[in-house]
Amino acid sequence: MSFVNIFEGYNWDDVKHSIYSKQARDVENALNAQQRTLEDFKALISPAALPYLEQMAQLSHRITQKRFGKTIQMYIPMYLSNECQNICTYCGFSLTNKIPRKTLNDKEILSEVAVIKKMGYDNILLVSGEAHITVGVDYFKHAIDLIRPHFSNIAMEVQPLDSDEYAELAQAGLTTVLVYQETYHKEEYKTHHPKGKKSIFNYRLETPNRLGEAGIHKMGLGVLIGLEDWRTDSFFTALHLNYLERTYWKSKYSLSFPRLRPHAGGIVPKMEMSDSELVQLICAYRIFNEEVELSLSTRESETLRNNLIKIGITSISAGSKTNPGGYTVATESLEQFEINDERTPQQIAEIIRQQGYEPVWKDWDRALQSTSSIPV
């Protein structure tokens, strides 16, 4: 059964009301539970849980160390292209933004790779807009072939693809795919994505199903915080995760929690999330699911990132550029969103070490992918 069937059994307003009705005793029950349910998760993200933030952080810290040890995984994005046929009201690459468009050629990809390797990275995240003709599966496959000799782990955050396309890319060496739903509010989704293939809500919603069918090792979920009520959106993320873990039990999962950042032609968030609430959400995700990876980008501030290392996140990027060619060939091209923490990977690694953690650059080996396309 596809997630769409499950999703349609829920009503946004009912879920929202249920979250905002949670009381202190629901939070305490959730904190003390042995196995935590989606109802517990609602309590942990509810306003009623804010007074329990320190307790939640302590618990999240302990659970995370037990599972992931005193380590933080390092990754870096590499933007391949800012061509895009979608209109997304919140994105710098949106079709209607009159910006110069750029797609990296082979030579440019390799010079970016060289700089990223020098920073120490072995785990790369390829990013693009959505332009199927020029930046489609063939382009990605070719890019992966070029990049694969240089990185033990290759992740991708591009437009949703079909299952056989994912299988083809997995065969080429892709291990991880991130596809964020942006918002699970179907009507609101439509207003933020009025044009392009991305405007089809259900196709995006079923992307993790297609990834699971293709046997992708790891998939990343999340919403863009600021488009809608973050609590309700996070509940649907947790619901999605729960469903996927049962359905595709051989896949790993990671969650991200990007907050809307300023960019060219940007919109004002409908609902702001405070720093305390971000901490609350990270802890809630961790307490609800002890095994899921939690990833933090350079969208957040230095102080916040320094302090989140111990609270529950498991992977972090540093030194990121969010424009194609940003590391070498087109350093001035327009970025997708503004970076908030501009410190170098080495500075971030040092901060991680100072907190008593080891920055991990390599945690995958191509040898383990000799049979990439596993039958499901």
Partner 1 sequence: MLSIADKIFSSRLFTGTGKFSSSAVMRDALLASGSELVTVALKRIDIHNAEDDILQHLNHAQFNLLPNTSGARNAKEAVFAAELAREALETNWLKLEIHPDPKYLMPDPIETLKATEELAKKGFIVLPYIHADPVLCKRLEDAGTAAVMPLGSTIGSNKGLKTIDFLQIIIEQSKVPVVVDAGIGAPSDAAWAMEIGADAVLVNTAIAVSENPVRMAMAFKMAVEAGRMAYEAKLAKAVHAEASSPLTSFLNSL
Residues making contact with partner 1 (CB under 8 A): 65-71, 122, 152, 218, 245, 249-252, 291, 353, 356-358, 360, 362-365, 367-371, 374
Cβ count near 39 (within 10 Å): 15
CA distance 77 to 157: 9
Secondary structure class of 168 (helix, strand, coil): helix
Reference 213, options 253, 174, 185, 247; nearest CA is 247
Please list, in sequence order, all residues whose beta carbon lies within 8 angstroms of the beta carbon of residue 211, skipping any fewer than 6 positions away: 163, 166, 177, 179, 219, 248, 251
Min. distance of Cβ 162 from partner 1 in angstroms?
23
C-alpha distances out from residue 278 to 19, 42, 311, 341, Å = 16, 15, 11, 16
Cβ nearer to partner 1, comparing 120 with 269: 120
Residue 79 pairs with which residues in a beta bridge?
A: 127
Per 3-state DSSP, the chain is made up of helix, strand and coil in percentages (nearest 5) of 45, 15, 40
Min. distance of Cβ 153 from partner 1 in angstroms?
9
Min. distance of Cβ 65 from partner 1 in angstroms?
5
Min. distance of Cβ 173 from partner 1 in angstroms?
14
Min. distance of Cβ 253 from partner 1 in angstroms?
8
DSSP state of 177: E
